[in-house]
Chains A and B, each alone.
Chain A
Amino acid sequence: METIFDKSKSGRRSTYLNEDDLTSKKPSDELDGDLLRGEKPGLPEISQPELMRHFVELSKKNYGVDDGLYPLGSCTMKHNPKPNEDLAATEEFQDHHPLASPDLVQGNLRLMYELGELLKGVSGMDGITLQPSAGAHGELTGMLMIRKYHEVRDELERRTEILLPDSSHGTNPASAAVAGFDAVEIKSNDEGTVDIEGLKEATSEKTAGIMLTVPNTLGIFEKDILEVAEIVHDAGGLCYFDGANLNAFLGRVRPGDLGMDITHFNLHKTFSTPHGGGGPGAGPVGVKEKLLPYLPIPVVEKTGDGYSFDYDRPKSIGKVNSFPGAFGVLVKAYSYILSLGDEGLKRVSDNAVLNANYLKEKLKDPYKLDYEGVCKHEFVLNGSGMGEGIKTLDIAKRLLDYGYHPPTVYFPLIVKEALMIEPTETETKENLDEFTETMLKIAAEAMEDPELLHEAPTETPVGRLDETQAARNPVLRWTESE
């Protein structure tokens, strides 16, 4: 595949700038020769039409929500409403500096304040920071607040452990570790939820807290959550709620009413801001009153004179970002929540759960379901035993041939050959029926003609790529010689 560097030809350019002669001084008069760039940077040289064609060609080798069903479990790949994109692109939102005088940017500040209030309502929490850049960043922020909480109580030295169910998302243990805690895994029971006896055993005077994802990554509501909270609180720990899956019960339950002390939101999931091919996201964090002093600075506050940033918070954990947050993403989430209102928010989850249960019902035979019962916004199939030598990866790759983005595969780790499916509320029944037909067809192919799956995909720009080679002999940048 030709990169833009391969298409480069010396002397071409897409954008020209006004060069002017404002000064007779030259950089070489002021700067030591060693400090001036010797060779120009090796960037592509390309005309504007060829530049556009290059990136449009690349875009055609991609697949987004606007292309079709994207049942990627845990990722909430739902429609990204277009009005929100347009609103976020207005000049008044885009072109202000975060260090501009607050009285000039009251609109931005009000938006941030009001979004914070809305998220409090959604989560049942007492305070919000909008600063973290993504879910994992929110987790880290939460973990650092847990640290601070114990530090203030002089208990940090002994409270070194964060408990995590074995179904947790990879960022959870990683965030606990970055914050300096030891991750302690607790097993799930036969129903896929936290094993209370196991939890009791794991909890001790070393417990700093627990990180729970609800519904968990199997799509199951943590039915004993109140008891879990009690056990952890009794041991002096705090409860962190990974809210990446809030799409499952907006307007039905709130982490703040479940004994949870901290939660993060993935605005780029639940609140429909686009994933951008991997980002940017926003991972605001909500906390209960006892943690308010530790929120990152600044916090947006409302006073008699309007809205402003409050930096005067001596117990704060500090800053997790240089500036107050992914404002452009916040505008989209704010617009989304306002367009839905209370009823709309509830309809989101009602229909996300309806779609998931419907699809689960349709697929649970011949695919296998390890955990029975109603699911929430997603469910996990066990893709083992589908045919001679057939792995979940083969099923996923065959789906590509039928024009679908596959589900999340091999996660959560506690299900063999996992296929984690989240249809989201914005898919029609017809889409789900067609997807079902395809999945059933693939199941039949797996029995009758397994080679079709082993060789898949054949309809995509490239076939299965050699990841081992990419790891053994990493080529991470273009070089001239190629």
Chain B
Amino acid sequence: MDFIPHTEEDKREMLEEIGVSSIDELFSDIPDEVQVQGDIIGKDGKTEQELKQDVNKLARENVKPGDRVSLIGAGLYHHFIPSVVSHVTGRSEFYTAYTPYQAEISQGTLGWMFEFQTAISELMGMEIANASMYDGGSSAAEAVLMAQEYLDRRPIVVADNINPYYRDVIDTYLPDPDDEIIELSSKNGRINRDHLEQIINDNDDLAGLVVQTPNYFGIVEDLAGLKEALDDAFLIVSANPISLGLLQPPGEFGADIVVGEGQPLGNSVYFGGPLLGLFATKSDYLRYLPGRVSGKTVDDEGREGFVMALQTREQHIRRERATSNICTNQALNALAATVYLSSLGPDGLTALARINWDRAQYLADKLCRIEGVDLTWDQPFFNEFVLTVDADPELIWEKMKEEGIDLLHPKHLKRLGLDENLMIAVTEKVDKEDMDRFAELLEEEM
């Protein structure tokens, strides 16, 4: 199957117009010795029906997700997605369009980008937001680069309880992570304030601090006083957007940059992508902002409209001096988030955050009543928490898998020095029966 419309006659006429006798002639500029001989992938094409049969078969080599209960979070969360989301993102005027460089026929994209930027700023308690980055990890890395560039300083403090994958990405993005990163330890599940104070006292040239709330272990960090302690060094906060229906937004604590993974906002976990990097900051730093933004202006007759604003920061104008190399971003995922947040509204998001909080509390309480199971840290958490279990976590993981309950594999915690632990995420998709069953099964294992 292909999607080429030409008849033999079309081709003949076109070749004639060009003045060549065959398509091969159009490739005569490529040296013979490097032209491919034979097949490159060794496959015949397929009709639509064959393709669907084959690819659906492949899909069925996965278990059916609807048949199982997933309690895995670790940065990506299974949330309920209302139908309006796919009905909007499925409009081909949106999904088959390119980046809105031609503003006059891209008011749709530019319009929702403006709405997205507004919704994300509101959520984060920040002045401005861009139209998206690749994912939560690259957003965090770009935030670090922005702080370093703005302040022209290198050392960056990174809390040891942020998502370890974000930390991995930051390490990859920084030219010299061993020299540039100062790791901030944690105490009883939250960042260690004494250690932070000491780091700040010992270093007068910090570019900033990266913290996450809820942190990787689900615990709500107390952001109060951090900005004051940091002075002009950047407070960079990574936040779960759903939690902000309940929690005070980082902007209220003086954050300079707020980043996060926007997948929970109306996007499937999709085996890890495409995701949605959120990036919000203060207006003062606008010229240092990475990525695209839509801005409001007027046309030649005074009508309001939107354009891609401040493109002089971007790679296609500024080239090697651009604020970032990002070009294609996560537009359709950002549209999904815009529709999702509009569909829930302030009351819906608040209710959703509360449901997540309630369920996690319910399950944690229930599990902690089991002998040999305890919360690892006695700290407030949002929709995810860590347990210490008096049994081999791998055996529990294995047993639950057989029972149709998926947990984060304990090796992901071992890497962080947590050897006898489980990390459990609960969203509105996990109902009471599933939680009760999980508790019963866990009790049997203890």
Contacts and interface: CB of A to CB of B under 8 A. Distances in A.
Partners in one complex: yes
A190 interface: no
B374 to A, nearest CB: 17
B236 to A, nearest CB: 16
In the A-B complex, the 10 residue pairs with the smallest Cβ-Cβ separation, listed nearest first, are: A323-B272, A62-B108, A98-B272, A276-B332, A64-B96, A107-B61, A280-B274, A341-B45, A278-B331, A322-B137
A12 B352 CA distance: 16
Contacts of A314: none
B72 A58 contact: no
B34 A226 contact: yes
Contacts of A104: 62-63, 68, 401, 406
Contacts, number: 683
A481 interface: no
Contacts of B361: 22-23, 25, 30
Interface in A327-362: 327-329, 331, 334-335, 337-345, 347-348, 350-351, 353-355, 357-358, 361-362
Interface in B1-23: 1-6, 10-11, 13-15, 17-20, 23
B31 interface: yes
A189 B255 CA distance: 50
Contact of B134 (A23, A59, A137, A463): A137
B215 interface: no
A249 to B, nearest CB: 7
A13 B72 contact: no
B31 to A, nearest CB: 7
Contacts of B132: 279
Interface string A12-26: 111111111111010
B274 A133 contact: yes
Identify whether the interface residues of A are mostly helix, strand, loop, or mixed: loop
Contact of B273 (A63, A252, A327): A327
A152 interface: no
Interface string B54-84: 1110111111111010101011101010101
Contacts of B13: 429
B150 interface: no
Contacts of B84: 14-15, 48, 51-52
A466 B55 contact: no
A339 B80 contact: no
B111 A17 contact: no
Interface in B275-323: 275, 283, 286, 292-301, 303-307, 309-312, 314-322
B4 A20 contact: no
Given A14-B343, A118-B41, A252-B36, A178 B145 contact: yes
B274 A78 contact: no
Nearest to A183: B320
A341 to B, nearest CB: 3
9 contacts: A4-B115, A40-B349, A41-B346, A87-B55, A107-B60, A272-B3, A280-B329, A348-B4, A405-B105
